[in-house]
Amino acid sequence: MTCNVVPNAIFKNGNSIPMFGLGTWNSPPGQVAQAVKDAIDVGYRHIDCAHVYQNEHEVGEGIAAKIAEGVVKREDLFVTSKLWNTFHRPDLVEGACKTTLQNLKLDYLDLYLIHWPVGYQEGTELFPMGPDGKTFLFSDADYVDTWPEMEKLVDAGLVRNIGVSNFNAKQVQRVLDVARIPPATNQIECHPYLHQSKITTFCAEKGIIVTAYSPLGSPARPWVKADDPVLMDDATVGQLAKKHGKSAAQILIRYQIQLGHVVIPKSVTKERIASNFDVFSFQLDEDDMKQLAGLERNGRICPESSAFGHPHHPFEKEE
């Protein structure tokens, strides 16, 4: 199977992004490099990373190995990373990007996102805490001041495209109001239990592509509770999987693609990496799409609860 079966979404600036990629959040240390190698062998050409995942050096190893083997060239790949919350202050943006590039062993990123609209106190701690060990320390840096520095990364050739992640509609509009280069994408949690229709409609109106993370409901998230509903076990998803002779994961991934979203499921298992990729040989019909749309329950998996109380928290006052 080759990568040419993956359709591209086209950014407003005319650049393209493969609609399917490998997510690397919560991938166990020591397994990420191999997962990236397996994914590239299967046909993945889009890899989604972030500084805060603390595994970009392993992603870089996997990419470098496949380039050295001649399986891919750098220009065949689309690599995304994200500016972490402790680097929102304008003078820290370029250094953060260069650290990511160094870890990934790359000269440029295809896409760089502001990971969250909330800024955390600058320093070496990814999740800086107060003396009580419970309170998170925030930065007063405003993402609208961060954005021009993201634009400078494009000017400098370090980054091809820039965007945001986990921004609500008002926040995206604030960026648009100051932007010389508008965000190409907004990467958000999106699956049948959380469609985010307000922000997805807004992005569509503004010509901003939606990238869907946790499309499978992130069953292995660290804070999962025993009584949390499991999207992959949902009866409707199971019936559709049976109908199409596909797995629950394949149904959920295909759903995002048919919604017009870029989708980045995570796996480190070779068989699942291959299975997740096999979503281009079938189509969900109108009734299937309606059934999946009917599963909405506003079930947010990634609320970023550590940032509750931050003036730029994207969901706290939204819901």
Q: Which residues are catalytic?
A: 53
For the chain, the maximum distance between any two Cα atoms, rounded to a whole number of angstroms, is 55
In the chain, alpha helices (H): 32-42, 56-68, 93-104, 143-155, 169-178, 197-206, 235-244, 248-258, 270-277, 286-293
In terms of DSSP bridges, do strands 16-18 and 8-10 run parallel, antiparallel, or are they unpaired?
A: antiparallel
Q: Which has the closest alpha carbon to 185: 261, 74, 116, 277?
A: 261
195 labelled ligand-binding: no
Would you say the C-alpha torsion 212, 255, 233, 35 has a positive or negative sign? negative
Residue 207 one-letter amino acid? G
- CA 149: distance to chain centroid? 21
In degrees and rounded to multiples of 5, residue 188 shows phi and psi of -135, 160
CA distances, 80 to each of 2, 67, 163, 263 (Å) = 21, 17, 10, 13
Q: Which helix (H) or strand (E) holds 10?
A: strand 8-10
Q: Is 266 helix (H, G, I), strand (E, B) or coil?
A: strand
Residue 92 one-letter amino acid? L
Q: Which residues are annotated as a binding site for substrate?
A: 115
Q: Which residues are annotated as a binding site?
A: 115
